[in-house]
Chain A
Amino acid sequence: MFSERAYHWCIQALGWGGIIFLVFPVFLTALVSFNGSFFIEIPPSSYSLEWYANIAKIHKIGEATLVSAGIAGLAALLVTVLATATAMAIVRYPFPAKAAVTAFLLSPVAVPIVAIGIALVQFFIALDIAFTWYSLLIGHMVLVAAYPVRTIVASMTLYNPSIEEAAASLGANRWITFWTVTLPQLKPGLISGFLFAFLISFDNYPISIFLVRGGLTTMPIEVFNYISQNLDPTPAAFSTIYILIVSVVIIFVERRYKVISLSLGR
């Protein structure tokens, strides 16, 4: 069976090629972060943890990371709640122009982020709330809304709606049915939707750069500013920690909640 073997070999080669292509930059970032010299060299001629200690020297990095985490957490939470209601409407109920509304809700994935950023700035200026923490929050919600809508719609179409009727026949009203039956069934969609939203908001640069002025700043903006003014591997050290934390969270969530498609998409 030569052709059979050639086919398997081909698939394997492509698979490994893909993995290497995706992992190589991450590996390189980690390698560079342990570089002993000021200049980025590959392979490093010596190793040190100096750049990890240097992370604190990135301008306002602590404060900016907290702002980013706060914005990302709250935006993801609010958007997940909104997305649950939206997904229910899309999957369960007929309403006028459903296809158009659905496409519109998913549009932030398709529209260039820079265009969204410009639109948001003009909108916030018109409302006279531009460059505030609230406008940054709302901007990030617009940015990430599509992701939980998608994941929750997906888990909603996967489950058997007759279990809600079963709950009703056993004496549960609409609210109790929602809490005890619907919500637990949507858990994978809710969790992966929340995480998608959180991660995309947390490291977003192009939207934030439009919405941030003065004292307000976010983690990606500060890291980018540092990179544009310095050539040393400090951002690589920061990124390595960031990648490590995100990987651990994703692995934990996938194991704990059996969420499968979290690492796909985007």
Chain B
Amino acid sequence: MARLDISQLSFSVGDTEILRNVDLCVEDGKCLALLGPSGCGKTTTLRSIAGFLTPTSGEISLDGTSVLGLPTHKRNVGLVFQDYALFPHMNVADNIAYGLKRRKVATTERNRRTAAALRLVQLEGLETRTPNQLSGGQQQRVALARALVVEPDVLLLDEPLGALDRRLRDQMQVELKRIQRESGITTIIVTHDQEEALSLSDRIAVMLDGRIEETGTPADLYRRPKSRAVMEFLGASNILDAVVESGDAGLTTVRIGGDCSLKIPAQAASGSAVRLGIRPERISIDHAAHADGDNNLTGRVMEAVYKGTHAEIYVEVAGVAPLLVRWRDTSERTIEDVRIGDTVHLTIDPDAILIFE
């Protein structure tokens, strides 16, 4: 267990910059998700920490000691690969004991720790199976046990749930969270799946185009992202172009197109162009017209997509880009009441509007 610090990490192949001055820090025992689209450099960061790649410049240290000079096998990092990379010619117990054998742990101690690791991932009784006799979820657990049993300073998970089907993924999410908490190992999860990042980690670092765009707790990043890119990447969002009309008493009026304007709780120079970000669930939608007030819009239903827990409704507002609105059924109203072409009234809470330049 250790604190991981990465500073000014860069990696280039020829003229292509894959990592650009990446700064990251994971506190002892915490779990950080490195979230980004494919090709953003998150796997390169992970491989640099593991020692499979030598960065062009920058520093990686564990508890303040640089690990850059060390080859992979001396770094004490645990890795869970996307495809698990279990040893196909060894059974489950031998797979898990592999790292202990390399560390010359005595047989009795090795057996004790292997058994404990199997218990942690709830695979007791499968010791003598070979990897090809296991389901995807079981292979995932073996890979996890194999990485954890050596008590690594840092645990690195590469798209840990990517290869599992939906149900298993939800189940393993809970499992993974429990295992990470119980083992207390500093963890980095690399993922392109925002839900995985939001649910598994203590902190998220959003990575775009080779740099860390923003870091924060899952709730912070979701509710108050500092950039449009992070807002768009993390969950569904509406991004609107707007022009500042006037400002008074903390509320600024912006025109979002046509004759629609919104009041936003921010100061901006009159005439300047801004971008607004609004989460779909922060827009209320109703068939009945609202009483007079701020931030009311009227539109027409273009499309409604039912998602089970909620529905997503695309609303066309004259002069404005289509707005995505989240609909929840209540005892009074259900999604069946919404028909394409219906006129609906939207209200946006000023506090729910984020402003990006």
Q: Do A and B come from one complex?
A: yes
A residues within 8 A CB of B74? 171
Q: Is the CB of A163 within 8 A of B98?
A: no
- Given the known interface contacts A171-B103, A172-B73, the answer about A160 and B85 at a Cβ–Cβ threshold of 8 Å is yes
Q: Is the CB of A181 within 8 A of B71?
A: no
Q: Is the CB of A172 within 8 A of B81?
A: no
- Given the known interface contacts A184-B89, A185-B89, the answer about A169 and B77 at a Cβ–Cβ threshold of 8 Å is yes
A residues within 8 A CB of B146? 166, 170
Please, which residue of chain A has its CB at the minimum distance from the CB of B47? A165
Q: Which of A160, A162, A171, A173 contacts B99 (CB 8 A)?
A: A171
State in angstroms the CA–CA spacing of A163 and B95 once bound together.
Answer: 11
Q: Which of B50, B52, B98 contacts A167 (CB 8 A)?
A: B98
- Given the known interface contacts A162-B81, A184-B89, A185-B89, the answer about A169 and B102 at a Cβ–Cβ threshold of 8 Å is no
State in angstroms the CA–CA spacing of A176 and B51 once bound together.
Answer: 17
Separation in Å of the B154 CB from the closest CB of chain A? Answer: 11
A88 within 8 Å of B (CB atoms): no
For chain B, which range describes its interface: under 10, 10 to 19, 20 to 34, or 35 or more residues? Answer: 20 to 34
Q: Is the CB of B72 within 8 A of A166?
A: no
B147 within 8 Å of A (CB atoms): yes
B residues within 8 A CB of A166? 79, 81, 85-87, 146
A171-190 interface code vs B (CB 8 A; 1 in, 0 out): 11100100011001101000
Q: Is the CB of B83 within 8 A of A160?
A: yes
Q: Which of A162, A169, A173 contacts B78 (CB 8 A)?
A: A169
B residues within 8 A CB of A184? 87, 89
Separation in Å of the B152 CB from the closest CB of chain A? Answer: 8
B67-109 interface code vs A (CB 8 A; 1 in, 0 out): 0000111111111010101111100000000110011000000
Q: Is the CB of B99 within 8 A of A165?
A: no
State in angstroms the CA–CA spacing of A176 and B101 once bound together.
Answer: 11
Separation in Å of the A47 CB from the closest CB of chain B? Answer: 49
A residues within 8 A CB of B98? 167, 170, 172, 180
- Given the known interface contacts A169-B72, A172-B73, the answer about A163 and B86 at a Cβ–Cβ threshold of 8 Å is yes
Q: Is the CB of B150 within 8 A of A162?
A: no
A168 within 8 Å of B (CB atoms): yes
- Given the known interface contacts A165-B72, A166-B79, the answer about A172 and B102 at a Cβ–Cβ threshold of 8 Å is yes
Please, which residue of chain A has its CB at the minimum distance from the CB of B96? A170
B residues within 8 A CB of A171? 73-74, 76, 99, 102-103, 150
Q: Which of A168, A176, A181 contacts B87 (CB 8 A)?
A: A181
Please, which residue of chain A has its CB at the minimum distance from the CB of B82? A162
- Given the known interface contacts A166-B79, A169-B78, the answer about A176 and B102 at a Cβ–Cβ threshold of 8 Å is yes
- Given the known interface contacts A160-B83, A162-B81, A165-B81, the answer about A173 and B73 at a Cβ–Cβ threshold of 8 Å is yes
- Given the known interface contacts A169-B79, A172-B73, the answer about A162 and B85 at a Cβ–Cβ threshold of 8 Å is yes
Interface size in chain A (residues, C-beta < 8 A): 19
CB < 8 Å A-B pair total: 64
Q: Is the CB of A165 within 8 A of B52?
A: yes
B171-204 interface code vs A (CB 8 A; 1 in, 0 out): 0000000000000000000000000000000000
Separation in Å of the B75 CB from the closest CB of chain A? Answer: 8
State in angstroms the CA–CA spacing of A160 and B163 once bound together.
Answer: 16
State in angstroms the CA–CA spacing of A193 and B52 once bound together.
Answer: 31
- Given the known interface contacts A169-B79, A170-B98, A170-B146, the answer about A163 and B71 at a Cβ–Cβ threshold of 8 Å is no
State in angstroms the CA–CA spacing of A165 and B73 once bound together.
Answer: 9
A residues within 8 A CB of B78? 169
B residues within 8 A CB of A159? 88
A residues within 8 A CB of B77? 169
State in angstroms the CA–CA spacing of A231 and B23 once bound together.
Answer: 85
Please, which residue of chain A has its CB at the minimum distance from the CB of B104? A171
State in angstroms the CA–CA spacing of A184 and B278 once bound together.
Answer: 56
State in angstroms the CA–CA spacing of A173 and B146 once bound together.
Answer: 17
B residues within 8 A CB of A168? 51-52, 71-73
Separation in Å of the B133 CB from the closest CB of chain A? Answer: 15
A residues within 8 A CB of B51? 168
Q: Is the CB of A165 within 8 A of B102?
A: no
Separation in Å of the B324 CB from the closest CB of chain A? Answer: 39
A144-168 interface code vs B (CB 8 A; 1 in, 0 out): 0000000000000001101101111
Please, which residue of chain A has its CB at the minimum distance from the CB of B77? A169
A residues within 8 A CB of B50? 165, 169
B residues within 8 A CB of A169? 50, 72-73, 75, 77-79, 147
Given contacts A167-B87, A187-B89, 18 further A-B contacts (CB under 8 A): A163-B87, A165-B81, A165-B85, A166-B86, A166-B87, A166-B146, A168-B52, A168-B73, A169-B75, A170-B73, A170-B98, A170-B146, A171-B74, A171-B76, A171-B99, A171-B103, A173-B71, A173-B73
Closest 7 pairs between A and B when the two form their complex, measured CB to CB? A170-B99, A171-B102, A168-B72, A169-B79, A166-B85, A162-B85, A184-B89
Query: What is B's interface to A at a CB cutoff of 8 Å?
Result: 50-52, 71-79, 81, 83, 85-89, 98-99, 102-103, 146-147, 150
Sample of 7 A–B contacts (CB below 8 Å) = A163-B85, A163-B86, A163-B87, A165-B72, A168-B51, A176-B102, A181-B87
